[in-house]
């Protein structure tokens, strides 16, 4: 196994092995083959990273905004020039089609860095003149050393989504990527070194959530935590940090509804978007519409046409541009999704298509592939319609009228995203306003403007990131009152 990649932590500007000498196996989902060793870091590595970030903070926070912006742009340049290499690595690491990583993941990571490099130069605050000759103004100052914890489904995309605004605002960062998909975070570390980012400004520590992540969120030197991941882990972070009053942003799970009204425009472009909204990245996007609600007047023809299109999706080697879906991220996750399919059958659901593992020929014969699956016949309160499966699985549910559509859409503990499909403009606005969701798309899906707030309600999260909301999260407001009399 001499050709195994040996990944490393980035601490104080250097790529180094974990102090305990322990490693985690990293597997390629498409082949089920181990191909890398990832640091299995512990509290000692976190201590070293926080110490480095703390030392770097005074100079970095005092650096001119233009200098911080310039360095973020240089990092973006380093990724952009190696876009194909990063896309191939992201596909190998996560199982997603390389075409998806090439089109979405890596370009968006570059955009995150460029956006916040520009946004920080335009970041302004407030002033309030008072009757009687006083003026108040608000300073927005960096917090110190912050923690950024990102998930495995969009590894570099969501990693940079957090790191870019934190650095732009003048904080230093200790970041923990998912140990399931660590490859592009390791490559990103080298890009930061090559771009000339000062030592200690960004530190990347690999390892498990139970050990590395726990040490990070418990560290007294951490001033804020930005987390994206499961609701279970988010709840644990909130519980652990509450007694210390640590500032937290938690973007968690989703069980997102797609509402299709009888008057929707059934164009090929819209059918394609509905397919993507349910099954992109093997359904492993927190914004995927896993509950498809269809007005009863068009339910049967919609079902027939949609099933035909789902069956036409090609599952297989992520390297093959003819394939629409790749592998799910790990054996553990494969077993979880397959368990949910068994549960759906136990609950009385009808599998309209899919519902089984896929075994491609050739190098991917042992990979973790699941056919895109549509299920009907389950009530809104079934576990299948309540629990986040996070795989290529969607349910169909008929509704009668606007009120029932909204009630069904809101009938979960989650509230991250929703999409509404109708040509009735008044209905679109009415329904959007009534949905318990942080994001609502009308006749589209996953159109993301980086200036807009991102986050959910209920068990989908606390706080907002994106645009000015991210810069506000990573800064502390301080009011200064000056008496001019």
Catalytic residue numbers read 251, 286
Q: How many CA atoms lie within 13 A of 344 on its CB side?
A: 30
Instruction: Name, in order, each residue with C-beta under 8 angstroms of 342's C-beta and a sequence gap of 6 or more.
Output: none
CA separation (Å) from 261 to 25, 402, 422, 446? 47, 8, 5, 19
What burial class does residue 310 get, using C-beta atoms within 10 Å of its C-beta: 0-12 exposed, 13-18 middle, 19+ buried? Answer: buried
Strand (E) or helix (H) holding 161: helix 155-168
Contact of 127 with 166, CB cutoff 8 Å: no
Q: In angstroms, rounded to a whole number, what is the distance separating the alpha carbons of residues 352 and 403?
A: 27
Total residue length of the chain: 485
Specify the DSSP class assigned to residue 152. S
Residues 6+ apart with CB under 8 A from 294: 260, 302, 303, 396, 397, 398, 399
Given a contact cutoff of 8 angstroms between Cβ atoms, the answer to whether 275 and 302 are in contact is: no
Dist. CA 308–CA 320, nearest whole Å:
22
Q: How many CB atoms lie within 10 A of CB 295?
A: 22
Q: In 10 A of CB 436, how many CB atoms?
A: 17
Cβ distance 187 to 194 under 8 Å? Answer: no
Instruction: Identify the CA nearest to 160 among candidates 221, 228, 207.
Output: 228
Q: How would you classify the pairing of strands 247-251 and 224-228? A: parallel
Dihedral sign of CA atoms 78, 80, 83, 87 in order? positive
Q: Are 347 and 384 in contact (CB under 8 A)?
A: yes
**Is residue 443 left, alpha or beta, with left meaning phi > 0 and alpha meaning psi from -120 to 50?**
left
On the 0-12 / 13-18 / 19+ scale of CB atoms within 10 A, 353 is middle
| Six token digits for residue 132 | 């009687």
Q: Is the backbone of residue 316 left (phi > 0), alpha (psi -120 to 50) or beta?
A: left
Which one, of 286, 301, 271, 310, lies nearest residue 395 by Cα? Answer: 310
- Say which residue the tokens 């075409």 belong to: 99
């Amino acid at each position: 196994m001499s050709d195994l990649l040996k990944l490393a932590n980035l601490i104080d500007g250097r790529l180094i092995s974990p102090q305990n000498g322990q490693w985690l196996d990293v597997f390629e989902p498409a082949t089920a083959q181990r191909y890398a060793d990832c640091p299995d870091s512990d509290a000692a590595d976190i201590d070293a990273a926080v110490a480095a970030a703390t030392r770097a903070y005074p100079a970095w926070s005092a650096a001119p905004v233009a200098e911080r912006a310039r360095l973020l742009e240089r990092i973006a340049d380093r990724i952009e020039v190696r876009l194909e290499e990063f896309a191939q690595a992201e596909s190998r690491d996560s199982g997603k089609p390389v075409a998806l990583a090439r089109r979405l993941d890596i370009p968006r990571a570059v955009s995150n860095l460029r956006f916040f490099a520009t946004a920080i130069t335009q970041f302004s605050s407030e002033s309030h003149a008072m009757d009687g000759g006083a003026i108040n103004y608000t300073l927005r100052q960096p917090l110190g050393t912050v923690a950024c914890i990102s998930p495995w489904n969009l590894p570099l995309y969501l990693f940079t989504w957090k790191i870019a605004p934190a650095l732009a605002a003048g904080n230093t960062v200790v970041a923990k990527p998912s140990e399931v998909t660590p490859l592009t975070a390791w490559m990103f570390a080298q890009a930061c070194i090559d771009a000339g980012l000062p030592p200690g400004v960004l530190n990347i520590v690999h390892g498990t959530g139970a050990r590395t992540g726990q040490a990070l969120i418990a560290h007294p030197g951490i001033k804020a935590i930005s987390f994206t991941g499961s609701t279970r882990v988010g709840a644990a972070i909130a519980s652990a940090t509450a007694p210390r009053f640590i500032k937290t942003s938690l973007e968690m799970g989703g069980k997102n509804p797609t509402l299709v009204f009888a008057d929707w425009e059934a164009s090929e472009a819209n059918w394609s978007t509905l397919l993507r909204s349910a099954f992109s990245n093997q359904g492993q996007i927190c914004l995927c519409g896993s509950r498809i609600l269809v007005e009863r007047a068009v339910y049967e023809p919609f079902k027939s046409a949609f099933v035909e299109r789902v069956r036409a999706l090609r599952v297989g080697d992520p390297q093959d541009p003819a394939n629409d879906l790749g592998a799910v991220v790990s054996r553990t996750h494969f077993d979880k999704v397959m368990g949910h399919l068994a549960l759906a059958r136990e609950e009385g659901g009808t599998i309209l298509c899919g519902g089984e593992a896929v075994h491609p020929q050739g190098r991917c014969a042992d990979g973790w592939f699941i056919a895109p699956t549509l299920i009907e016949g389950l009530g809104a309160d079934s576990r299948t319609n309540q629990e986040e499966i996070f795989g290529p699985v969607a349910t169909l549910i008929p509704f009668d009228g606007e009120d029932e559509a909204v009630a069904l859409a809101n009938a979960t503990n989650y509230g991250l995203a929703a999409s509404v499909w109708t040509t009735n403009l008044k209905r679109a606005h009415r329904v959007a306003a009534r949905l318990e969701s942080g994001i609502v798309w009308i006749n589209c899906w996953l159109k993301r403007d980086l200036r807009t707030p991102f986050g959910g309600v209920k068990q989908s999260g606390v706080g907002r990131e994106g645009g000015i909301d991210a810069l506000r999260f990573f800064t502390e407001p301080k009011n200064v009152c000056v008496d001019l009399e």
